[in-house]
Amino acid sequence: MAHITFNTKNIENFVADHELAEMQPLITMADQQLRNRTGAGADYSDWITLPTDYDKDEFSRIQKAAKQIMSDSKVLVVIGIGGSYLGAKMAVDFLNPMFNNELPERDRQGVKVYFAGNSTSASYLNDLVRVIGDQDFSVNVISKSGTTTEPSIAFRVFKQLLEKKYGTADAKKRIYATTDANRGALHDESVAEGYEMFTIPDGVGGRFSVLTAVGLLPIAASGADIQALMDGAHDAQVEYSEADITKNEAYKYAATRRILYDKGYTTELLINWEPSMQYLSEWWKQLMGESEGKNQKGIYPSSANYSTDLHSLGQYIQEGRRDLFETVVKLDSPVSNLDLPHEEGNNDGLQYLEGITIDEVNTKASQGVTLAHVDGGVPNLALHLPAQDAYTLGYMIYFFEMAVGASGYTFGINPFNQPGVEAYKTAMFALLGKPGYEEQTKDFRARLGE
C-alpha cells in the first residue's frame, strides 16, 4: 500500500549532504535510548510498540461502544483537553467531510462529534448546549489524570444535562469514561457510578495517546475506520525500525530539522493546503512543543494554513526574520475535485484557468509558494500523503511520534514529561482559592493588586 514519503529536495541551499551524514551518530544514540528504554522518561515510551501491542479486547469494546453510540445518539460530546482531545479532533476532521456535523444524517457515516472541556470559556459551553438542543447525545469524558479543571467543569455541565434529559440511571449508560486504569477522580467516579470505562495505558503520555481509547472511541463514533488507522501505524512501526537516516525517513526528518535549528532556524511552520488538516497542525504543535521545549531548548512549533494565511502571514514568511523553516504536509490526491465552471467572456479574468481542476490550482499554488519561499530564504521540507484516509493518518502519526522521540534525545532532554505546564495551574488554582494553594494565593493576589 502506498505510504507517506519525506522529501528534502528543497533544502539543498541550506543543508549539505555531509551535514546529514554527520548527524548519524547523534541519531543512533537517540535511537538506542528510545528503543532500549535507557533515555530519560523511558517509562512513557510504550507508544513505540503500541501499534502491535495494543489491547485487542479493549479495541473490540471500543468498536462496540461506537456502534452503541451510533444507535442511541445523534451527537457525541467529547470532553478533554491537550493530549486528551487534539488527536481525536485531528482525526475526526481529517477522516470525515468538511462540515460533517452539518450534513444530513444519510450523508454521514457516524454521529456528529463536538468537543468540549478544552477551554475555560463559558460562552463555548452555553453555545454547545444550545446546538445539542433536544438531540439524543452521549458523552465521552477523557482525562488521564482525571483531575484536569477544564474537562472536569465541562463534564459536570454535560452530566447534569444528561441526567435532566434521561434521568440519573439512563444518563449513566450514555457516559463513556477514558482515564487511568487505577487512580484519579474520574476513575473513582466512573467505578462508583458504573460508567463504561476505557483505559489510557500507564506508559503512554497524553500527546502520544491518539492511538489508544483516547482517540479511538471518538474517531470510531464519527464513522471512521479505526482498524485501518492502527494498520497504518503498524506498517510505519515496521518501516521506521532502523537507526540509519538513509533508511528511516522519520529520523531523516528529525536530523534535518535539528541541523536547521543549529543554523538558527528555530521556528518550524507546519503547513497544510487543506482546511480539514488544520487540527493536524494543532495536534503536531502539542506533540513537538511539549516534547522538545525544555531547558531553554527546542524548535518552536508553529503552523500556517495555506493558501488562507498567505494573505495574512505570507509577507512575514517571505521577508521577515530568517529563522523560519517550513514542513509542508501535502496530499498527493484530494478526497474530491472540482472543475472550474465555464463562463462566457472573461469578466473575472479566470478564462486562462478553464480546463484545469481546482485541485490543480491548489497544487500549482503550493509549488509556486515553495519556490518563492525557498528563494526568500525559508528552508522547505515536505511530507507527501498519498491519500486522506485512516491508513495514511495512522502512518503519519507514527512518523511524527518517532521523529520527536528521537529528536528530544538529540537535545539531551526528556521528551516525555511536561513540567512547564504546571506553572500556570499553580497560579490559576491560587487565584481561584483551591485548597492547598493558600501560600501562593496571597502572593498572586497581591501581584494583581487585589
Residues with a known catalytic role:
290, 311, 425
How many C-beta neighbours within 10 Å does residue 103 have?
14
Residue 271 DSSP label: E
H/E stretch holding 303: strand 300-305
Nearest alpha carbon to residue 101 among 124, 121, 69, 74: 74
C-alpha 198: how far from chain center: 20
Residues that bind ligand PA5 (CB under 6 A): 81-84, 143-145, 148, 151, 205-207, 290, 418
How many C-beta neighbours within 10 Å does residue 365 have?
14
Least CB distance from residue 147 to ligand PA5, whole Å? Answer: 7
Task: State which residue, 206 or 394, has the beta carbon closest to ligand PA5.
Answer: 206
> Contact, 65 vs 216, CB < 8 A?
no
Task: State which residue, 187 or 234, has the beta carbon closest to ligand PA5.
Answer: 187
How many C-beta neighbours within 10 Å does residue 244 have?
12
Least CB distance from residue 279 to ligand PA5, whole Å? Answer: 15
- Distance between CA atoms of residues 420 and 82, nearest Å: 14
Cβ neighbors of 334 (< 8 A, separation 6 or more) are 274, 359, 362, 388
Instruction: At 171, list the grid cell.
Output: 444518563
Nearest alpha carbon to residue 75 among 110, 50, 35: 110
- Distance between CA atoms of residues 403 and 266, nearest Å: 17
DSSP 221-233: HTT--HHHHHHHH
Least CB distance from residue 143 to ligand PA5, whole Å? Answer: 3
Task: State which residue, 196 or 359, has the beta carbon closest to ligand PA5.
Answer: 196
Amino acid letter at 312?
Answer: S
428-432: long-range pairs with CB below 8 Å, 24+: 428/149
Four-point Cα dihedral 374, 21, 232, 75, nearest 10: -50
Strands (E), 69-152: 75-79, 112-116, 137-143
Task: State which residue, 199 or 418, has the beta carbon closest to ligand PA5.
Answer: 418
Task: State which residue, 82 or 232, has the beta carbon closest to ligand PA5.
Answer: 82
Task: State which residue, 110 or 215, has the beta carbon closest to ligand PA5.
Answer: 215
- Distance between CA atoms of residues 221 and 348, nearest Å: 44
Nearest alpha carbon to residue 254 among 287, 206, 282: 287
Least CB distance from residue 84 to ligand PA5, whole Å? Answer: 4
Task: State which residue, 143 or 366, has the beta carbon closest to ligand PA5.
Answer: 143
Least CB distance from residue 9 to ligand PA5, whole Å? Answer: 34
C-alpha 210: how far from chain center: 8
Residue 421's Cβ-count burial label (10 Å; 0-12, 13-18, 19+) is exposed
H/E stretch holding 117: none
Least CB distance from residue 115 to ligand PA5, whole Å? Answer: 13
Task: State which residue, 256 or 286, has the beta carbon closest to ligand PA5.
Answer: 286
Least CB distance from residue 90 to ligand PA5, whole Å? Answer: 14
Least CB distance from residue 209 to ligand PA5, whole Å? Answer: 7
How many C-beta neighbours within 10 Å does residue 44 have?
21
